[in-house]
Amino acid sequence: MTRQMTNILNEWDPFSCGAGGYDPEIADVLQAVHDLDEPHNLAVRIQAIYEHSFEETLPYDACFLLAKSLLAVKGLGECTL
């Protein structure tokens, strides 16, 4: 699950840094995915994480789509008994 999310985040590449160029941000986003379950809240957190590092605000819509993708992967990895 984590590897799949990491691949999604590396492929997203909003600042054209290439794979491996976002390791601190990816770690923060993965933690946020584990902490949050709502796409809106996760999108806002993703915006804040990348803005802190790159001093540029990413479009909310792009972050929201990313959040939905990450939460879908999270949902696939959760066990229900």
pLDDT in tens, 2-48: 999 999 999 999 999 988 899 999 999 999 999 999 999 999 999 99
Smallest CA-to-CA distance from 50 within 4, 79, 16 is with 16
Q: Summarize pLDDT for 58-72 with one digit per residue, the tens.
A: 999 999 999 999 999
Residue-by-residue DSSP string for 27-79: HHHHHHHHH---HHHHHHHHHHHHHHHHSSPPPHHHHHHHHHHHHHHHHHH--
**Which residue carries 């696939």 as its tokens?**
76
Domain map (residue ranges) of the chain: 2-77
**Predicted structure pTM score:** 0.90
Write down the CATH superfamily of domain 2-77. Apc36109-like domain (1.10.340.20)
Compute the distance between CA of residue 24 and CA of residue 66 in angstroms, rounded to an integer. 17
